[in-house]
Amino acid sequence: MLRNYSNSRTLGDNIRLGTLTAFTAGTINIASLLIFLSFTSNVTGHYAIFAAEISQGNWSQVAVVGGWIFLFFFGGFVSNMSVINLNKKSKYFAHSLPIFLEILCLLAVGVYGQFFYEKTLGETEALVALMLFATGLQNGLTASISNFSVKTTHLTGTTTDLGILASMFTQKKFRKNPELIARAKLLMSIMAAYVLGAIFSGLTYYSLEFRVFYLISICLLVVIGYDFYKINLRHFQTEYRYYKIYHKPTFIAFLYYKIHNKDENRTTSRPRTNTKLAFSED
C-alpha cells in the first residue's frame, strides 16, 4: 500500500490506499464541521473566505485564513520532501513518516479537545490549523506516491473525472479500455469511502465527541501496519528459504519452521544431500 512507488503501483495498491485514507478524510471533515464549523480536508472554501476578508479589510482574519491555506500547502510540501529525500534509504519509512505525523496531529487535537478545550476563538483557529496541516500531509503523500492518481481529502477532482469517464463510457471502444475501467473503479472506491467516513463521523460524533479522532488515528495505523506486516512477513519467509537451501539456521527461520512444519518432527529425517540452486552452474 505504501511501499510501492509511482508507476510500480498496482490498481489494488491504489484502491487500498485510496479507500482507507478517503474514509479518514471524510471522518475528519465532518468531525471538524460539527465541532469547529469549518471544513478541514480541503481549502477550496478557505480561498473564497480569504478573498472576502481581503475585500472587507479584515486583516487579522486574512492572516488566520492565509495561515490555514499555507499549512495545508506545507503539509503537502513536507510529505513530498519525505518521499523524495528518504526514498533511497527506506521506501517504507519515507512513505509512512507523513502518516505518522498526521496521527500525531490528530491525537493532539483529540487530547486537547477532550481535556483542555474551552471553545475560545483562538483555540478553535489553532486546532483547525493543525487539522489542515494533517490533511495536507495525507493528500500530499497519496498524490506523491501514486503519481497523482490518488487524492483523497476532497472530491472535486474525483467527481469531475468520474463525469468525464461516464461520458466516455457512452462509446463502446472506451467501455472496453482496461485503463479507463481501472481508473473508474479507483475513483468510485475513493468517493464511496469518503462518504462512508463522513456518515460514520456524523453518527458517532455525538457519543464520542473528540474521541472520534482516536478512531481516525487507528484507521491510519492500519495503513502503516499493513505494509509493516507485509515487509516483515516477506523477511520472515526469506529467512526460512535461506535456511532450507543453505542449511544455516537463523532464529527467524527456526520460528518459521516451528510454526509451519510441526508435523515434520514426527517424520523420519532424510539423509542430507548436496542441493544445487536453480541458478548455479554445473
Does domain 6-154+193-233 fall into CATH 1.20.1250? Answer: yes
Check whether 3 has a pLDDT greater than 90.
no
* Residue 280 or residue 116, greater confidence: 116
Q: How confident is the model at residue 226 (pLDDT cuts 50, 70, 90)?
A: confident
How large is the average pLDDT for residues 52-80?
A: 95
Q: What is the pLDDT of residue 200?
A: 93
Average pLDDT value over all residues in the chain: 82
Q: How confident is the model at residue 258 (pLDDT cuts 50, 70, 90)?
A: low
How large is the average pLDDT for residues 97-109?
A: 94
Q: What is the pLDDT of residue 183?
A: 92
Task: For residue 97, report the phi and psi dihedrals to the nearest 5 degrees.
Answer: -60, -45
* Residue 281 or residue 205, greater confidence: 205
Give the range among 10-19, 55-64, 222-231, 235-244 with minimum mean pLDDT: 235-244
How large is the average pLDDT for residues 217-225?
A: 88
Q: With contact defined as beta carbons under 8 Å apart, do 224 and 20 qualify?
A: no
Q: What is the pLDDT of residue 250?
A: 57
Check whether 278 has a pLDDT greater than 80.
no
Q: What is the pLDDT of residue 259?
A: 64
How large is the average pLDDT for residues 240-251?
A: 54
Please state, for a pLDDT cut of 70, what percent of the chain lies above it.
78
Check whether 219 has a pLDDT greater than 60.
yes
Q: What is the pLDDT of residue 257?
A: 61
Q: What is the pLDDT of residue 7?
A: 61
* Residue 267 or residue 53, greater confidence: 53
Give the range among 5-14, 106-115, 150-159 with minimum mean pLDDT: 5-14
Check whether 129 has a pLDDT greater than 70.
yes
Q: How confident is the model at residue 87 (pLDDT cuts 50, 70, 90)?
A: confident
Q: What is the pLDDT of residue 274?
A: 47
Please state, for a pLDDT cut of 90, what percent of the chain lies above it.
52
Check whether 187 has a pLDDT greater than 70.
yes
Check whether 76 has a pLDDT greater than 70.
yes
Q: What is the pLDDT of residue 86?
A: 85
